[in-house]
Amino acid sequence: MSILVNEKTRLIVQGITGHVGTLETRLMLNSGTEIVAGVTPKKGGKIIEGVPVYDTVQEVLDEMKADTSIIFVPPAHAAEAIFEAAEAGIKLVVCITEGIPVKDMVKVLPYIKDRDVRLIGPNCPGITTPGGARVGIMPDFIFSKGNVGVVSRSGTLTYEVVDTLSKAGIGQSTCVGIGGDPLIGTSFIDALGMFEDDPDTSSIVMIGEIGGTAEQEAAEYIKEYVSKPVVSYIVGISAPQGKTMGHAGAIISGGVGSAREKIRVLEGAGVSVATSPEDIVEKEKIL
């Protein structure tokens, strides 16, 4: 099994006619993902990489079944694209777009919650279930099928960790990049709960970074509700206070959100904290 996406996922690509949307559509198709349609306003009737393009998500659903949407829409219009997918009845939305205004996300989050829609992102690399589906921008060649669930705030660090695991013969059930913005749709806790309930995930790797309290909240959740072993890797030990490091949410303010504080709390919850991707492998081998 897996979480969120698999070989039965039927995907819509919003923003398919843009350069990135077209490129990633081709790559997702090559990885075996079933893309049933694309959506770009006023571009309906086109064919992109063999995929029919519609003007709206609703037009797609009026003609065929789809359960997931991925968004490659510029920041100024990305929130509108999320609203459109949710209103039409899509239950899983993956938003790759970086730089969506916080004020827009403040409106998006209660809207999707009211409609029981799962949002991954924004500013995330998406989801990959090896042998099932890739809904995002993660490189296929680093993944191998297995039983380790991976959840991460950082895209490129995710790739490094997954590549290191695969080269050591440790495969993954699903990898979820939740995004590094201050306001995101799916938290560590959400992903941890899904992995805990997945019978084919035997252990979990959680990759965090400085900023906010998401890792501390995850530690409390793990202590109370997660029975599977969790290995965590927190980056940013040397990051200075008050300076944004990479992600908009990666900033230490008032002493809150430091890597050392996160590591302390995670270890207190019984989580095995690694010092490098290679150390994650070593800890996974002895679980």
Q: What is the mean pLDDT of the chain?
A: 93
For the question of residue 19 being annotated catalytic, the response is no
Is the N-terminal amide bond of 122 cis, ω within 30° of 0? Answer: yes
Q: What is the Cα–Cα distance from 180 to 152, expressed in whole angstroms?
A: 9
Q: What's the order of all strands across the beta sheet hosting 126-129? A: 133-136, 126-129, 172-177, 145-152, 203-209, 230-235, 272-274
Q: How do residues 26-85 score in pLDDT, each as one tens digit?
A: 999 999 999 999 999 999 999 999 999 999 999 999 999 999 999 999 999 999 999 999
E strand or H helix at 83, and its extent?
helix 75-88
Q: How do residues 170-204 score in pLDDT, each as one tens digit?
A: 999 999 999 989 899 999 999 999 999 999 999 99
pLDDT, position 215: 95
Q: What is the Cα–Cα distance from 165 to 56, expressed in whole angstroms?
A: 40
Catalytic residue among 153, 247, 262, 283: 247
pLDDT, position 247: 47
**Which pTM does this prediction carry?**
0.93
Beta bridge partners of 171: none
pLDDT, position 212: 85
Q: How do residues 233-264 score in pLDDT, each as one tens digit?
A: 998 665 455 445 444 444 444 455 788 899 99
Q: What is the Cα–Cα distance from 266 to 211, expressed in whole angstroms?
A: 15
Query: For the chain, which domains are there?
Result: 10-120 (3.40.50.720), 139-285 (3.40.50.261)
Q: How do residues 115-148 score in pLDDT, each as one tens digit?
A: 999 999 999 999 999 999 999 999 999 999 999 9
